[in-house]
A and B are shown apart, each in its own frame.
Chain A
Amino acid sequence: DVVMTQSPLSLPVTLGQPASISCRSSQSLVYSDGNTYLNWFQQRPGQSPRRLIYKVSNRDSGVPDRFSGSGSGTDFTLKISRVEAEDLGVYYCMQAAHWPLTFGGGTRVEIK
């Protein structure tokens, strides 16, 4: 199985400051069609997960442009340019290039 390793586990942030979450996979996430199937999800307290980013760097509709995704192969990053209060919650990376689909353990973004 592809192991997804996120860091840090917890990320204390100051509102208005940038934040960055790392996600590493145990295998390349480049699929046979040439696409890299790495997605990012946000889960606010008490809510369902919501996809923010798909295929490494594509923002979903309605996602603020302060969120950006980057990376390639096995090394990926989610960045928030200026953290706002509504961004607090847990963030997960997930790979859809190999069966079984696997998630990272999550990174909790909280106020410092």
Chain B
Amino acid sequence: EVQLLESGGGLIQPGGSLSLSCAASGFTFSTSNMNWVRQAPGKGLEWVSAISNSGGNTYSADSVKGRFTISRDNSKNTLYLQMNSLRAEDTAVYYCAKAYNMDVWGKGVTVTVSS
């Protein structure tokens, strides 16, 4: 069964850093492009960042550019999101999603940025 399991969320103060992980199973991770997508409380979906299967190409939304870094370790079947300089508006459930067309989603992890 194809599965994505996010971890690493929590409560963090503004200006702080947090690292999210997404463990993949049930498919060939190394051949799949991957995404992070977030959803602020009561709001819609917002694409955050994407990475190609090899990790050679990355893309990010303007709202996180220069603060968030997407990466992957194909030997560990794991996707990462390093989040720095966090702001209150980064508070959201963060999902990882497989492929640029997002055919499989994880259950999400909550990030709360608050003092």
Hey, what's the 0/1 contact readout for A44-56 against B, CB within 8 Å counting as 1?
0000111100110
| Contact (Cβ within 8 A) B45 A49 | yes
Indicate if A69 sits at the interface (CB-CB under 8 A). Answer: no
Number of A-B contacts (CB under 8 A): 57
| Contact (Cβ within 8 A) B101 A96 | yes
| Contact (Cβ within 8 A) A105 B59 | no
The answer for the CA separation of A73 and B97 in the assembled complex, in Å, is 25
| Contact (Cβ within 8 A) B45 A106 | yes
Residues on the A chain within 8 Å of B50, using CB? 101
| Contact (Cβ within 8 A) B105 A103 | no
Indicate if B88 sits at the interface (CB-CB under 8 A). Answer: no
Indicate if A39 sits at the interface (CB-CB under 8 A). Answer: yes
| Contact (Cβ within 8 A) B47 A48 | no
Indicate if A94 sits at the interface (CB-CB under 8 A). Answer: yes
Hey, what's the 0/1 contact readout for B47-70 against A, CB within 8 Å counting as 1?
100100000000111100000000
**Nearest A residue to B50, CB-CB:** A101
Residues on the A chain within 8 Å of B102, using CB? 39, 41, 49, 51, 94, 96
Task: Given the known inter-chain contacts A99-B59, A100-B62, please indicate yes or no for A51 contacting B44, CB distance below 8 A.
Answer: no
**Nearest A residue to B103, CB-CB:** A51
The answer for the CA separation of A51 and B45 in the assembled complex, in Å, is 13
Hey, what's the 0/1 contact readout for A73-112 against B, CB within 8 Å counting as 1?
0000000000000000010101010011111111000000
7 tightest Cβ-Cβ pairs between the two chains A and B: A101-B47, A103-B45, A106-B44, A48-B105, A96-B100, A96-B101, A99-B59
5 A-B pairs whose Cβ atoms sit less than 8 Å apart in the complex: A49-B97, A60-B103, A94-B47, A103-B44, A104-B44
Chain A interface residues toward B at CB < 8 A: 37, 39, 41, 43, 48-51, 54-55, 60, 90, 92, 94, 96, 99-106
